[in-house]
Amino acid sequence: MSEQIRVLVVDDSIFMRKFISDMINSQEDMDVIDTAKDGSEAVEKVRKLRPDVITMDVEMPHKNGLEALEEIIKIDECFQVIMLSGLTARGSSITMEALAKGAFDFVQKPSGFNYLRIDKIKDELIEKIRCAMVRKKKLQQEKSGWGTLKKLIEQRTGSGKKVKDKGEIKDLYPQYDKDTSGSFKEFNKEVKIKAVTLGASTGGPKTLYDVITRFPKDMNVPVLVVQHMPTGFTKAFAEKLNSNSMVSVVEAEDGEPINPGKVYIAPGGYHMLVEGERIKLDTSPPIHGVRPAVDKLFISAAETYGENLLCCIFTGMGKDGAAGAKEVKARGGIVLAQDEATSVVYGMPKAAIDTGCVDLVLPDYKIAEEIVRLTLT
């Protein structure tokens, strides 16, 4: 039998605790080691039991999910927390805050009469728990490697100086900051980038937050974004980004003009397309089981901007974005993909890379730098 994923289930509803626990325990590779009825009890049990993954209700009495998350991450950043959020303005806002503060991902809880059909989220929750475990192992490996590298650098400096963070390693030994994903390609600087498209799924909210908040206030091209996310949460996601970015970030509206220096987030439940100089939203059938779909955005943007388009594919399950990347490349655009090391889930980037149409594979933070370099030159 493979190693079991040890899960702590946190929810103030005894009904939800049982349903979620039964779902998880139905999997041979998972085991609910305990449950907690609020954030305070969750923090105590995390300290004692050291679970691999925690499913965390957002709105609870005494200590809510966000407050508990902040304490859990301080105990050990390798703990993986999946937020379970109801579709309320407060719930979606707290969920976006949780993702920015280190939660792995979230799953939307049914509400009202749908509360009795919680099993509909089973496949999504189970898949995200498995992905969270992969992420935990990756973080533990990085943490172990970082500790070894610190000791090596401290020994080689010979001064007894303690290295506190990776920034000091870059100063002492610049070779340790080299990009290992491949050489930087000199793109044709005669071609002016007129638009940027970004696509992401699992692990995407945190990655997109880190990328978009790096954009300078003088960003002179529009940025169109598809993040697989349920209806109701994309608005909170856009608001969170807007409050922490130097550029304007909005949830896109049908017929809205596309303006330079503005970031448009596709609303949950709608495909977002580029039609001339405006945004078009439609409710045509999902692609790859999702709506909005990255492929829809990339293909329509490629038809409009041709060689003047830069598209970037980030972490996520499945292959959404691969067909779009082929279309972008066929029309002369530039395609970047996130590397495996920094991807929470390597599915979408790998599918795009496998098409042979990706120009450059980079860590997420390097993609942010490359977007700025290509759009400001």
Radius of gyration of the chain (CA): 21
Residue 201 annotated to the active site: yes
Residues in the chain, overall count? 377
Cβ 213 vs Cβ 241: under 8 Å: yes
The CA distance from 104 to 83, in Å, is 8
Q: Is the peptide bond before 292 cis (omega within 30 degrees of 0)?
A: yes
Residue 29 φ/ψ, nearest 5 degrees: -95, 15
Candidates 21, 85, 93, 201; catalytic one: 201
Candidates 92, 228, 288, 364; catalytic one: 228
Q: Which residues of 45-76 are buried (b: 16+ CB within 10 A; e: fewer)?
A: bbeeeebbbbbbbbbbeebbbbbbbbbbeeee
Give the pair of three-digit tokens for residue 222.
């529009």
Among all chains, which residue has been given the structure tokens 């950043």? 77
At position 42, the amino acid (one-letter code) is: A
Give the pair of three-digit tokens for residue 100.
């920015």
Query: Strand 53-57 vs strand 195-200: parallel, antiparallel, or unpaired?
Result: unpaired
Cβ-based neighbours of 142, under 8 Å, separated by 6 or more: none
Candidates 11, 57, 295, 320; catalytic one: 320
Q: What are all long-range contacts of 280-288, with beta carbons under 8 Å and residues at least 24 apart? A: 280/254, 280/255, 281/252, 281/253, 281/254, 287/320, 288/318, 288/319, 288/320
Active site residues: 201, 228, 320
